[in-house]
Structure 1
């Protein structure tokens, strides 16, 4: 999925640095001062954002705002020094903000927030509170930290002296401060403890909870890290204090993220947690390695609680359910949803209830493990940001722009605001504890019930027998299914619990489970009505003295066909869509016959599902009737309705290729469900695994508004929470393509099973309408995630392109010269030419082929020339009209010429700037060349002279695009090409000159590059094949039939 880019809100945050240490009586925390992460700032473009994402930054640790410079964004991100240095080495230099004290919040005066250890700390308070309420409270040390601190917990239950067995009563656990810097969370848990203790005996509701259940309070699950965050310069410390490298010091390379260290799904991939010790989401050296993790695990093992609330900050979310994989609902979500509410009516006002993985994935997290290992249903409230709290009371003393300096984590040290945040969370916290008595029928502060049945409905079936499914309460007795065919007499089918699929479906089933029954005897054209029934639970029977059947609402489907074929072709051509067509064709599938013919040539009759005409096929109703699916795209670049063509963003304006219609998300998940149940899939098309222009930054492509997928995406504040994302996880983790690069090619050659030895050219009618110019070149997932560490993602390259071509591959021969982007660079490649005397009508030109993508108007490619022995520099215009005389963007500000004084030869800074300078004129290429382009420069004015000609790539201080590649250089005199250089054996007479002495040095410079290859055209797994081209784009029917035959053989095993 997205590589954890954490674009939070776009509210104007003025960072003034990190917080200073408050005064307190307790001793300073262990570890060095100033070793923690800091807020780094800078101005970057989309590629710079992607570099930050690739560090594995937690999404809440980054804020992005529009920049005054077009196409750029101002970024503020929490990094440690190691990560900042890594970015700088890659050309994205950010600046650390100087630490500064938050106004009032962290001054050297007593405040609300305090340390855990030492005199007057939270640990001492826990012991005192338990001692003051001995009839209902006990203090317990549940473990110790790396630094030897006790991890304190308080158990609260009625007549506690008689309740010697911990967890005997229905139990709820409240946990805070797994992440050190989230100071509001210990206050939440501590105050909740105070509320229970102080209200017992006077508040009927709380008294009932205490007398009938057991509640545990662990305000600080990470004592070492929490106390460390009070040290100067450490306010943003997140992890514990494990000394990862054993050097006796605590630095940015130390510590483990305790919410990524639990055993369940630990290290499932490198997006939900990081293997890098310097990352804030570092998962630790092994599952459950940390003493703090072990302490909670042992406690939960002893008391087996019904519920967990694991408080975090800062994002105003209410998370539940599966977090290790996107878009994976589970049966116990019925309870979670009843308790948490929805976007319109959340259980905590202002919070957004969601599946844990809706915004980003996590693995090794506490909630997932505690349900999987101990049956505790877990919620993670992400409490309010500093900004939300500071703005919550109009005209008070708190001003977000002045007081919030740590990307939302520095909740104001203000009693009234802290108490208000606490009180907002109390109703949900109490309801969860009350629900422990009967999780099947939870207490909901939003007035929702957990229904007995949640039926998986569909309207079309492709066969008989037909499997149907329902999520039902486990404690219902004698579950069965009834169905009627064409209104006839009811028939009964027993149901069985589904054990789950190959990767998912067997978890979060403590109170609900998926049960399946089978309809038999229906024929094409028949209508079937299905209903699920059961007897009430024994508890409900004894409570109501009523054993009447409980039933689901019925649903009806039609049997459209029942061929018995094993293969289904999904035609996903989007002929009713808008990409690449300017308007819908509405003329039906264009390439269906080619695919059916290729199957028929292998003796296979196939059925068809046309997405445009029929919508999304149901995984059980349609897909489940087949062993294999051939899913193809045809000319479809992206499945788009009219309102998806342009997506409004607050940073970049209207952007193309940023959204798809929501049906593409639902189709993807349906096919994933099919694979999960043992199906086989081949997916083919020139833009398979293409997720639009921001794929690298957001990890996918949008498909609708958050909470309203049927509405068009509009990114008004947050690149992650505003819109829903069709994640790239499906092609990465199920189809074996970790990333994709567009290329052109002449053909394809098989390199491994099942395509070994296959050879085919591209061509034929399909390539007239859709030439091979953006085929997908893939990196196999197992090349990134090694099989020995990630066997679940085993994949390999099955074919490569022949005759590959592309904007950054050499165009002539195998080598070219390349200047990759560097910030504030002046990369120069130069040589001399002797221009002879010319006869009338003769010319001398420098000719070459260029391909470039630069930051439009900010970074430039120029061809400079001067007579040798002079300083009479100028830049030359392209005779093919590729250059412009427009001055660089913001030239009038002066920073570009100040940075590179050489440019004063061609530009005069003023308002406006002019395109003439001290010795010459300004002519530049900027933006994108659209691939390789011929360039030509007239040297005739220098006849009889020796000149120096320099190809320069000049950049501003901020991040840019790809850079410039040059090939096929020639000196042409009177139409005769001479001194040709294609860099095949070296640079020839060309020299890398470095930056002018007056410019900053280049961190990278010109170099020769070659077509290294291979350029993989297809990836394979045991169950799938992904093609970066359309099968219809193969030149011949025979080639297509051969490839399809290999697909079928692979799937047959």
Structure 2
């Protein structure tokens, strides 16, 4: 094609792969070889960042061939602009998918473990290796080498990424289309931040709308800090909406506040149920933008989509939510409040009977030294005996960071963790090749007593193994274990509360076939940072209504402390 269209086509290598292959880019424009690159407005079409997505290569090549076959009709376009094509951005991985047994290989061919072979624990996802927002969190990409979304050892650690990033910086394209074949989706760069408007969304014309603000919350930008107090509202709904749904207005309010924070605003968010639907993380649905159906009336029915907790986790610093966890369930009264850090040190308050919430700070899960953008703490505590993550008894416990399919879908446990085949059948039967499946899924809502009957093994040596099984798409807060005991005829024969050591337990690596984890079991007396009030650099998030404080002095004191934290 280049030889037949020398006046239009210029081919160049933009870099080399780990295996030394050229990564080729094709520039198509009038006088392509005579004029400097990027002298005209340019658009980039790229494909095959993920090796197995063959159809994306063919779509790219078909478009290139179409442009050249219709060069006469497209003369004006080619005179004024440059069209660039990178048909195969991951040549090593692409070639690897044509070898026996490797059709579904997705990443490049980085030998991560250095054993000289390319196996499941190798390769880096080039699409998650770019410097922008690298290692932003553990949801959009993975730290685990065996994951298909493994981001690599560092930003732009892969030559394929360096090549593409270099081309983008050198040409400064006006636009790019990056072809994939994962699913029927149109994704934008803004998608790393959930529910963000894109450049293609309609523009609100204030003149045509009679100089009316596009949204009542447009006033936020006039203030250095705002108070978002939800009172006793639980879930905002419009007339006719049913349980399991929330209103578009409620979600729009959250997005408007998020936009305000992104522009440097400061926020105090409080209420008896502040952001309840979002904290439920996927259990409620709303209708994003469908004129014919103004609100979601039937959960799970498109165009209704789920409401997630990204805003609470990454802007408000609340990674895990505990409903009514600031209330003494024996008396029905909220625990006392006490301030323990920063501007809140010395605060004390009593709440009238009302609903409460408690939160685990995001930095307890994503350490601030690794994720400084999400640094958060819990300076307002519930004065209660213990908390959701305190040891069951004593001061020490051990910790690690109910269906066939993993929570995030995709391959079953039998594929991701082959050792489970010993306990689970191919059709989800609770028995496998040598044992039975005993498992629990989801949030335990606190300590739960587990009992295992070992009577069938009387007279034999028994090994008891406890595993936390998950996948790279779904990572929870982990599992806590305390107060282990073996009883014989009702009498305790052996026990451990992990106060001095592991009590006979040993910590092993992952079973054969499972990928290496970044966490493992360890003995600890450090509980998660948790409380009734969280603080980040820009926000204060309270798990109770300020109006529920029993004295005006306490209400005034708390708001003053919050504003001093936010504004200095």
TM-score of Structure 1 vs Structure 2, range by shorter chain: 0.7 to 0.9
> In structure 2, how many angstroms separate the alpha carbons of the residues matched to 1:140 and 1:754?
59
Equivalent position to 2:351, from 757, 762, 774: 762
Aligned partner of 2:493 in structure 1 is none
Q: State the 1:1024 CA deviation.
A: 1.7
SS at match of 2:251: helix
Residue correspondence of structure 1 range 114-513 to structure 2 within 5 A: 129-161=1-33, 163-200=34-71, 204-329=72-197, 333=199, 336-337=200-201, 454-455=203-204, 457=206
Give the match for residue 216 of structure 2.
Answer: 617
Shift of 1:752: 0.8
Deviation at 1:337, TM superposition (A): 4.9
User: Structure 1 pair 234/966, CA: closer, same or farther in 2 (3 Å)?
Assistant: closer
Which string of whole-angstrom CA distances, capped at 9 and with x for unpartnered residues, describes residues 119-166 of structure 1?
Answer: xxxxxxxxxx323433332332221101111112222233445x2422
Aligned counterpart in structure 2 of residue 803 of structure 1, from 384, 392, 400: 384
Q: Distance in 2 between matches of 1:268 and 1:807?
A: 27
Q: Is the 8 A contact 2:43 2:84 kept in 1?
A: yes
Q: Distance in 2 between matches of 1:682 and 1:693?
A: 17
- Partners of 2:242 and 2:298 within 8 A in 1: no
Q: What RMSD over aligned residues (CA atoms) do the two structures have, in Å?
A: 4.1
SS in structure 1 at match of 2:277: coil
Deviation per residue, 1:338-361 (Å, 9 max, x gap): 8xxxxxxxxxxxxxxxxxxxxxxx
8 A Cα contact 2:284 2:299, kept in partner: no
2:211 corresponds, among 556, 571, 586, to 556
When the two structures are aligned, how many residues end up with a matched partner?
Answer: 480
Look up the match of 2:563: 1048
User: Contact conserved, 2:142 with 2:150, CA < 8 A, in 1?
Assistant: yes
Contact 1:994-1:1001 at 8 Å conserved across structures: no
1:1034 and 2:549 matched: yes
Find the residue that maps to 1:317 and give its secondary structure.
Answer: coil
Distance 2:154 2:182 in 1: 27
Residue number among 466, 489, 511 corresponding to 1:1004 in the alignment: 466
Q: Which has the higher strand share?
A: 1
Structure 1 residue 251: Cα displacement: 2.4
Confirm or deny: 8 A CA contact 1:675 1:1023 kept in the other structure. Answer: yes
Whole-angstrom CA distance in 1 between matches of 2:372 and 2:387? 33
Given that 2:227 and 2:268 are in contact with CA atoms closer than 8 Å, whether structure 1 keeps it comes out as yes
Specify the SS of the correspondent of 2:191. coil
* C-alpha deviation, 1:183, in angstroms: 0.8
User: Which residue of structure 1 aligns with residue 444 of structure 2?
Assistant: 962
**What secondary structure, in the 3-state scheme, does the structure 1 residue paired with 2:343 have?**
coil
SS in 2 for 1:248: coil
Counterpart in 1 of 2:227? Answer: 630
Asked if structure 2 preserves the Cα contact closer than 8 Å seen for 1:747 and 1:802, the reply is yes
Q: Distance in 2 between matches of 1:1049 and 1:693?
A: 27
What is aligned with 2:259?
Answer: 673
Distance in 1 of aligned mates of 2:121 and 2:456: 37
Deviation, structure 1 residue 237: 1.8
Give the alignment partner of residue 641 of structure 1, picking from 228, 238, 241. 238
Q: Deviations over 1:487-529 (max 9, x none)?
A: xxxxxxxxxxxxxxxxxxxxxxxxxxxxxxxxxxxxxxxxxxx
**Preserved contact between residue 185 and residue 312 of structure 1 (Cα < 8 Å):** yes
The CA deviation at 1:179 is: 1.0
What is residue 416 of structure 2 aligned with on the other side?
Answer: none
> Conserved in 2, the CA contact under 8 Å of 1:816 and 1:965?
no
Mark the CA change 1:1022 to 1:714 in structure 2 (over 3 Å): closer, same or farther: same
Contact residue 804 and residue 1015 of structure 1 kept, 8 A: no
CA drift of 1:262 comes to: 2.0
Residue 467 of structure 1 corresponds to which residue in structure 2? Answer: none
Q: Is the 8 A contact 1:146 1:291 kept in 2?
A: yes
SS of corresponding position for 1:691: helix
Tell me by how many angstroms 1:816 deviates.
Answer: 13
2 CA distance for matches of 1:779 and 1:966? 19
Q: Matches of 1:806 and 1:211 in 2, distance apart?
A: 69
For each residue in 1:512-551, what CA deviation from the matched residue of structure 2 results, as whole angstroms up to 9, or x when unmatched?
xxxxxxxxxxxxxxxxxxx4xxxxxxxxxxxxxxxxxxxx
Aligned partners of 2:144, 2:557: CA distance in 1, in Å?
A: 44
Tell me, what secondary structure is at the counterpart of 2:457?
coil
Look up the SS of the partner of 1:143 in the other structure.
strand
Partner of residue 249 from structure 2, selected from 663, 667, 670: 663
Aligned partners of 1:232 and 1:958: how far apart in 2? 38
Contact persistence 1:690–1:740 (CA under 8 A)? no
**Distance apart, 1:675 and its partner CA:** 2.6
| Structure whose CA Rg is larger | 1
For residues 281 and 748 of structure 1, what CA distance do their matches in structure 2 show? Answer: 42
Distance in 1 between the 2:49 and 2:188 partners? 17
Q: Residues 139 and 1050 (structure 1 numbering): CA distance in 2 closer, same or farther, change over 3 Å?
A: closer
Note closer, same or farther for the CA distance 1:207–1:675 as it changes in structure 2 (3 Å cut). closer
Contact 1:702 1:713 in 2 (8 A): no
Task: Summarize deviations over 1:54-74 as a string: whole Å, max 9, x none.
Answer: xxxxxxxxxxxxxxxxxxxxx
Alpha-carbon shift at residue 628 of structure 1 (Å): 2.8
Distance 1:713 1:225, change over 3 A: farther
TM-score by length of 1: 0.41
Between the aligned partners of 1:995 and 1:220, the Cα distance in structure 2 is 60
Equivalent position to 1:702, from 260, 280, 285: 285
Structure 2 vs 1, CA of residues 316 and 817 (structure 1 numbering), >3 Å: closer, same or farther? closer
Question: 1:644–1:160: structure 2 CA closer, same or farther, 3 Å change rule?
Answer: same
Q: How does 1:846-925 map to 2 (within 5 A)?
A: none
Q: Report how far residue 180 of structure 1 moved.
A: 0.9
* Cross-structure match for 1:792: 373
Matched, 1:683 2:301: no
- With over 3 angstroms needed to count, the CA separation of the structure-2 counterparts of 1:992 and 1:193, relative to structure 1, is closer
Instruction: Assess if the C-alpha contact under 8 Å between 1:141 and 1:153 holds in 2.
Output: yes
**Aligned-partner Cα distance in 1 for 2:397–2:448:** 5
Report if aligned partners of 2:48, 2:88 keep a CA contact under 8 Å in 1: yes
CA distance in 1, matches of 2:366, 2:197: 26
Pick closer, same or farther for the CA change 1:996–1:683 going to 2, 3 Å: farther
Q: 1:131 to 1:817 in 2, by over 3 A?
A: closer
Counterpart of 1:734 in structure 2 is: 315
Query: Structure 1 residue 292: deviation in Å?
Result: 1.2
1:996 positional shift: 3.7
1:1043 offset after TM fit, Å?
1.8
Distance in 2, matches of 1:706 and 1:228, equals: 42
Maintained 8 Å contact 2:26/2:86: yes
SS in 2 for 1:1042: helix
Query: Once the 2 structures are TM-superposed, how far is the Cα of residue 677 of structure 1 from its aligned partner?
Result: 3.6
TM-score by structure 2 length? Answer: 0.72
Aligned residue number for residue 338 of structure 2: 749
In 1, Cα distance between equivalents of 2:262 and 2:428: 59
The whole-number CA distance in structure 2 between the counterparts of 1:995 and 1:179 is: 51
Residues 1:1020 and 2:502 are matched in the alignment = no
The offset of 1:776, in angstroms, is 2.2
SS at match of 1:138: strand
8 Å Cα contact 1:816/1:966 also seen in 2: no
Structure 1 residue 555 displacement after superposition: 2.0
Spell out, residue by residue over 1:79-114, the C-alpha distance to the aligned partner (whole angstroms, 9 max, x if none): xxxxxxxxxxxxxxxxxxxxxxxxxxxxxxxxxxxx
1:176, CA displacement in angstroms? 0.8
